Structure 1
Amino acid sequence: MIACQLSLYPLGTPAYTPVIKEAMAVLEQCGVEIEVNAMGTIIRGEEEAVWRAARQLFQVAAGRGEAVLVMTVSNRCGCKVANKKAPARGS
């Protein structure tokens, strides 16, 4: 499982909301857990599903014009993994 925080910035258009809504609709079809917050959207799921979702989100936005997608990906932070211990410091 991995988690990915995404922030999408459609460029060159004052009407950015429809681009973001369309991109979010794509995420909802990708089979990942979605959490929207003030700074962006966090998606969680199996690694391949998360990468596919991020790629599709960007493709939708880029298809509507110029866009920037900022991503932070982690296999630790934000992941809900049962029975997984943190690695020992210095390991």
Structure 2
Amino acid sequence: MIDQSHVRDLLAMPDDDAALVLMEGRAHVVDPPRLASEAYRGAAVLLTRGDLVGRLGTASPQDHQVRELAATLRTMAGELGA
């Protein structure tokens, strides 16, 4: 489901409104135009890039921070029933 690559992909996005979303049980990193598209209608937004950087305090986190956040996001997704 959600792993470290999703966190890294979200950090690599240029727009702070890019988001990590859940759609049909799968995690996706999407930019704002795609998020607003019909294809992502109903997707559950877990975290935006801006929120992620704010939470981590940096756009270049250490590996252990990425691992811990990915684990937290997996737990959140599980609680949503995804």
With normalisation by structure 2, the TM-score equals 0.40
- The higher radius of gyration belongs to 1
With normalisation by structure 1, the TM-score equals 0.37
Normalized per residue, the structure richer in helix is 2
Whose relative contact order is higher, 1 or 2, with alpha carbons under 8 Å and at least 6 apart? 1
